[in-house]
Chain A
Amino acid sequence: MSYIYEDYDVVVVGAGHAGCEAALACARLSLNTICFTVSMDSIALMPCNPNIGGSSKGHLVREIDALGGEMGKNIDKTYIQSKMLNQSKGPAVHSLRAQADKQDYSREMRLTLENTPNLTLKQAEIVEILIEDNRITGVKTYSGAIYPCKAVILTTGTYLNARCVYGDVSNYTGPNGLSSAKFLTDSLKNLGIEMYRFKTGTPARIDKRSIDFSKMEEQLGDENIVPFSFTNKQEDIKKEQVSCWLTYTNETTHEIIRANINRSPLYSGDIKGTGPRYCPSIEDKVVRFSDKERHQVFIEPEGNYTNEMYVGGMSSSLPEDVQYNMYRSVAGLENAKIVRNAYAIEYDCINPNQLKATLEFKNIHGLYSAGQFNGSSGYEEAAAQGLIAGINASLSILNKDPIVLNRSEAYIGVLIDDLVTKENHEPYRMMTSRAEYRLILRQDNADLRLTKIGYQAGLIDQKRYDNLILKEKQIEEEIIRLENTNIGATKEVQKLLESLDSTLLKTGTTLAELVKRPELDYYLIAPIDNKRPELSEEVIEQVNINIKYDGYIKRQLKQAEHFKKLENKIIPEDIDYENIQSLRLEAKQKLARIRPLSIGQASRISGVSPADISVLLVYMEQLKRG
């Protein structure tokens, strides 16, 4: 029997990383929000790797924080090791990664949700999405309770019709044996939503006491910690860190895998879902890269209050007995006790081309979605989408303009644009090479790029905003000061340059010119800069980067300007591509399917040529004048 239970503004379905951000954003924007989860014990669960961040994913977390999201703050509270990757490379690819205490992470996030006003948590499975005239009216639970609402955000992660598989063992459950959601897919299909089936996997967890760490290389955290959240300083979060460990597979490991490859459900054809290429199972690595003698294996703690260790690099769906032999062939794991088996998981997700860049479904007003449900992978990708879906669902209810970040503004913009525009046949992972303007999309300037937008949306408070404006001003003034401070070839200057292996001055120059030299920087020229003002480390970092890489940054800014021109050419929503006779058939079909927001987005659809874009521009001009 079904009945009306309670009204809400927003219903969030799922409380993983996407669901948490979405629910928090809505509640913080004063909307009456309810977040459903199949298990109250799995809020912000990390069912796979025990870390947050990493190359380009770290950027996403910084951006989430800059916009007023929660992930950065939560990992700052619960990290057990922190590292800035790529420190020897350029500032654009510096990337933060922290090991999390998984249980702490989950508990802290749950606490935050529980204590946020306007936010209700509820354990229940949603089985039906209710719509009328292509507009959301509510959701229905398994028990028949109907929750009328204005917007629904689907963040079901890997739970829809989930199936966990290793060898010939197969369970219809979500991750970690949690119950899956078995009915929602049908409801979505009835609404005409196109579904995909994807696959991912996780390695075994091993008892710490059974590992011989003396055979492994210790991996320490950084001494200087950079917090994920712009609201934290190093001293706020500094703590004792734990180590990770590095070991390798060997020929014996590969032999075991090869001998049993026919027993892998991936190769027998039992698993039909598409897996991610960036995160292959160990059997995939051995088969596809057969010339590699060894693969890295990272042993990472799952938390401070458990002996479970995560075996990074060896996810698998091989049978239990093969797993046992395979893991034990690795140096240091000879006596390993497996606490949890490795498994592959298959799940339903959507073709994200059905979404607008706001993450609202094109055909159903008020229905939004985010995270793995949209065909992405990773906690950070999920959280980023969850935040944007939450913001836009709220802004729509509040009758305000949505927030769409473009590719020159944020990795989040790249992520969402790729999802909604390009054809995607595997779980999508953020990568730094996907960002065209990465010199301006650095992790260090995420606040300068996005905090104003977060403020406009209503997720950033006045104090944080004022601090940002002050920071901006200080950076600008200091750059101007350096550009206008002339220095001559004095003895003192030459001495410093000589000591730093830098070419001596023949004529006068500016401090900025010296900072630009490859072998020098802002810090090194301090002795000859006697009028230097007192500035925070964050401001100095921006000054240094902006001056040092000035040429490249200006070039990318110029490219970004050009790019934005096309993004700002908005295609009318009701355009009928069938009517544009001169468009080629393929372009017509693709454009009609994706319905791009702008000329810029249209130009990124594969199969739409520059000539098609010209035709489209002329047609739009005709309409305008028509």
Chain B
Amino acid sequence: MRTETIAAVATAMSNAGISIVRISGSEAIDIISKIFKPKNKDKDIKKANSHTIHYGYIIDGSITIDEVLVLIMKGPNSYTREDIVEIDCHGGVTVTKRILETVLKYGARAAEPGEFTKRAFLNGRIDLSQAEAVIDIINSKNEYALNNAMNQLKGNILTKVKDIRENILHDIAYIEAALDDPEHISLEYFSEELLIHINDNQKELRRLLDSADNGRILKEGIKTVILGKPNAGKSSLLNILVGDERAIVTDIAGTTRDTLEESININGISLNIVDTAGIRDTEDVVEKIGVDKAKSFANFADLIIYVVDGSTTLDKNDREIIEMIKDKKAIILLNKTDLDIITREEDLRKYLTQPIVLISAKENKGIDILENLLKDMFFNGEISFNDEVYITNIRHKEALKESINSLEQVEKSIEDNMPEDFYSIDLMNAYEELGHIIGESVEDDLVNKIFHEFCMGK
């Protein structure tokens, strides 16, 4: 069962500086006591005073994860007015994620979008004037999470989660139909059959969990979209970025193949180029995918790379793109410096304030400047990936683990010869957890399934 103690990464997910994992709720101190080994062995973190800092290590069993500072702030003198524990760790996406996952493993649940702020407000910590802002945070984060989760969870993962859910629901419906109409439907020998189903489902879920561990459920990285009018040089640019030592990280077949996204690693920074296939198949991206689609990509991108053909004048396509990216994080590449320049840097400056880099994709000039610019922007924190992608990934893993646990509990109930109605409690839990991944709640699924598949009643 999920608790009311929540956790999240409080700082931006980047490779720079220090990251903070924050826990809030009545079990926060209990959880930290299980995963924190103070440097001073005599210290008992449970007995620590409010507003104190402690030096030591985050551990998961016998494994040490990171050297950290732990801050204890007891409610009501905290941001949410609940007990809060903050773990200051050594930055870095991987370590921060590991720490968050460890916190979740020991009893917290991943915070919903905007949940810390929401609690702070509801518990009277935030001023009334900020209420609208609180709502905005909740809405925007939620919208982002929903859009991303659904956009990126296409194809096989979605189908697999749906299939497993459907199988589980069928088994629950069978049990429930039999409980509701015992003179009609018998549960004799059903537990043997159920055990087989559970094993199959667990196998599938473990496989999904493995792919989640490899970051393959949701793409993590800077979501980047390359825009430009036909023949501006987007393909050449992409080929250069991909070429040489920088190989395209091809997705493992069957996991995210149809998300139309590819990762490129530049100086250790992952860029996820959206709709690469579309861009590579045709020069004319705006025309091909349509202005609306391009707009929505631009909206959800962490970074836009706008390629301008310097050998021509700015046309209708350019004006649409300029309008679209005006207030967005973007880098403008003025391409074709090898030819006679018609559109100049100052022509673009009239409309755009973002950095402009002069390149020649054909002659491979200026690319190093682009790469350095990317690196600077990233480490200055000017571009970062929306944390929600990371968090969503972690939430998915949490849901997968919970559903596996629930199925294990059913196995145990069968072994213990518990009555069948107990099985459906844990099966339902697994069903609900998997619903979190694909954004579906339970509602009347079960009753509908029972009526659909079983001839009920007299």
Which residues of A, 536-586, contact B by the 8 Å Cβ criterion? 552, 555-556, 558-559, 562, 582
- Chain B residue with the shortest CB-CB distance to A615: B135
Query: Is B240 close to A, CB under 8 A?
Result: no
Flag if B458 contacts A49 (CB, 8 Å): yes
Flag if A618 contacts B121 (CB, 8 Å): yes
Query: Is A56 close to B, CB under 8 A?
Result: yes
Of B122, B139, B420, B458, chain A has the most CB atoms within 10 Å of the CB of: B458
Query: Is A614 close to B, CB under 8 A?
Result: yes
Flag if A621 contacts B122 (CB, 8 Å): yes
Cβ contacts under 8 Å, A289 to chain B: 455
When each residue 420-458 of chain A gets 1 if its CB lies under 8 Å from chain B and 0 otherwise, what string results? 001000000101111000110000000000000000000
Flag if A518 contacts B131 (CB, 8 Å): no
Q: Which of B67-75, B181-189, B257-265 contacts A (4 or more CB under 8 A)?
A: B181-189
Flag if A90 contacts B455 (CB, 8 Å): no
Flag if B422 contacts A582 (CB, 8 Å): no
Cβ contacts under 8 Å, A288 to chain B: 455
Q: Which of B45-53, B206-214, B271-279, B441-449 contacts A (4 or more CB under 8 A)?
A: B441-449
Which residues of B, 102-144, contact A by the 8 Å Cβ criterion? 112-115, 118, 121-122, 124, 128, 131-132, 134-136, 138-139, 142
Flag if A279 contacts B457 (CB, 8 Å): yes
Q: Which of A7-15, A143-151, A255-263, A291-299 contacts B (4 or more CB under 8 A)?
A: A291-299
Query: Is A237 close to B, CB under 8 A?
Result: no
- B84 CB, min distance to chain A CBs, angstroms: 20
- A95 CB, min distance to chain B CBs, angstroms: 9
Flag if B455 contacts A292 (CB, 8 Å): yes
Interface of B is mostly: helix
Flag if A433 contacts B447 (CB, 8 Å): yes
Contact A278:B457 (CB < 8 A) given known A621-B121, A622-B128? yes
Q: How far is the CA of A518 from the CA of B179 in the complex (A)?
A: 21
Flag if B112 contacts A55 (CB, 8 Å): no
Flag if B128 contacts A614 (CB, 8 Å): no
Cβ contacts under 8 Å, B446 to chain A: 433
Flag if A614 contacts B444 (CB, 8 Å): no
Flag if A614 contacts B114 (CB, 8 Å): yes
Q: How far is the CA of A209 from the CA of B355 in the complex (A)?
A: 97
Q: How far is the CA of A296 from the CA of B422 in the complex (A)?
A: 27
**How many B residues touch A, CB cutoff 8 Å?**
47
The contact sample of 27 A-B pairs, CB cut-off 8 A, is A55-B179, A86-B179, A88-B419, A90-B418, A93-B179, A93-B421, A280-B456, A280-B457, A296-B183, A315-B458, A429-B457, A431-B180, A432-B180, A432-B421, A433-B446, A438-B421, A439-B425, A519-B417, A582-B135, A611-B139, A611-B142, A614-B114, A614-B118, A615-B135, A621-B121, A622-B128, A622-B131
A interface with B by C-beta (< 8 Å) = 49, 55-56, 85-86, 88-90, 92-93, 246, 276-280, 285, 288-289, 292, 295-296, 298, 312-313, 315, 422, 429, 431-434, 438-439, 518-519, 552, 555-556, 558-559, 562, 582, 606, 610-611, 614-615, 617-619, 621-622, 625-626
**Cβ-defined partner of B1 (8 Å) among A92, A559, A582, A617:** A559
Q: Which 10 A-B residue pairings sit nearest by Cβ, starting from the closest? A: A90-B419, A277-B451, A433-B176, A611-B142, A312-B458, A279-B457, A278-B457, A89-B419, A90-B421, A582-B135
Cβ contacts under 8 Å, B118 to chain A: 614, 617-618
Flag if A432 contacts B444 (CB, 8 Å): no
Q: How far is the CA of A89 from the CA of B180 in the complex (A)?
A: 12
Cβ contacts under 8 Å, B121 to chain A: 618, 621
Query: Is B58 close to A, CB under 8 A?
Result: no
Query: Is B450 close to A, CB under 8 A?
Result: yes
Query: Is B416 close to A, CB under 8 A?
Result: yes
Other CB < 8 Å A-B pairs besides A276-B457, A582-B136, 18 of them?
A55-B181, A89-B187, A89-B420, A89-B421, A90-B418, A279-B456, A292-B455, A296-B183, A313-B458, A432-B180, A552-B422, A614-B135, A615-B135, A615-B138, A617-B122, A618-B138, A619-B131, A622-B131
Flag if A89 contacts B179 (CB, 8 Å): yes
Cβ contacts under 8 Å, B131 to chain A: 618-619, 621-622
B interface with A by C-beta (< 8 Å) = 1, 4, 112-115, 118, 121-122, 124, 128, 131-132, 134-136, 138-139, 142, 172, 176, 179-184, 187, 416-422, 424-425, 443-444, 446-447, 450-451, 455-458
Flag if B122 contacts A434 (CB, 8 Å): no
Q: How far is the CA of A276 from the CA of B457 in the complex (A)?
A: 10
Contact A279:B458 (CB < 8 A) given known A89-B420, A518-B418? yes
Cβ contacts under 8 Å, A438 to chain B: 421
- B413 CB, min distance to chain A CBs, angstroms: 9
Q: How far is the CA of A621 from the CA of B113 in the complex (A)?
A: 19
- A327 CB, min distance to chain B CBs, angstroms: 15
Cβ contacts under 8 Å, B457 to chain A: 276, 278-280, 429
- Chain A residue with the shortest CB-CB distance to B122: A621
Cβ contacts under 8 Å, B182 to chain A: 55, 85-86, 89
Q: How far is the CA of A312 from the CA of B183 in the complex (A)?
A: 12
Cβ contacts under 8 Å, B138 to chain A: 611, 614-615, 618
Contact A431:B134 (CB < 8 A) given known A90-B421, A621-B121? no
Flag if B455 contacts A295 (CB, 8 Å): yes
Q: How far is the CA of A504 from the CA of B424 in the complex (A)?
A: 31
- Chain A residue with the shortest CB-CB distance to B451: A277
Q: How far is the CA of A518 from the CA of B443 in the complex (A)?
A: 33
Cβ contacts under 8 Å, B135 to chain A: 582, 614-615, 618-619
- Chain B residue with the shortest CB-CB distance to A426: B451
- Chain B residue with the shortest CB-CB distance to A517: B416
Cβ contacts under 8 Å, B139 to chain A: 582, 611, 615
Flag if A552 contacts B455 (CB, 8 Å): no
Cβ contacts under 8 Å, A626 to chain B: 128
Of B180, B444, B451, B457, chain A has the most CB atoms within 10 Å of the CB of: B180
Of B136, B172, B443, chain A has the most CB atoms within 10 Å of the CB of: B443
Q: How far is the CA of A584 from the CA of B142 in the complex (A)?
A: 12
Cβ contacts under 8 Å, B421 to chain A: 86, 89-90, 92-93, 432, 438
Q: How far is the CA of A622 from the CA of B127 in the complex (A)?
A: 10
Q: How far is the CA of A28 from the CA of B54 in the complex (A)?
A: 66
- Chain B residue with the shortest CB-CB distance to A295: B455
Q: How far is the CA of A92 from the CA of B175 in the complex (A)?
A: 14
Cβ contacts under 8 Å, B134 to chain A: 618
Q: How far is the CA of A552 from the CA of B447 in the complex (A)?
A: 23
Q: How far is the CA of A521 from the CA of B406 in the complex (A)?
A: 26
Cβ contacts under 8 Å, B115 to chain A: 614
Q: How far is the CA of A517 from the CA of B124 in the complex (A)?
A: 48
- Chain A residue with the shortest CB-CB distance to B179: A93
Cβ contacts under 8 Å, B136 to chain A: 582
Q: How far is the CA of A285 from the CA of B184 in the complex (A)?
A: 13
- Chain B residue with the shortest CB-CB distance to A437: B425
Cβ contacts under 8 Å, B124 to chain A: 625
Flag if B419 contacts A422 (CB, 8 Å): no
- Chain B residue with the shortest CB-CB distance to A289: B455
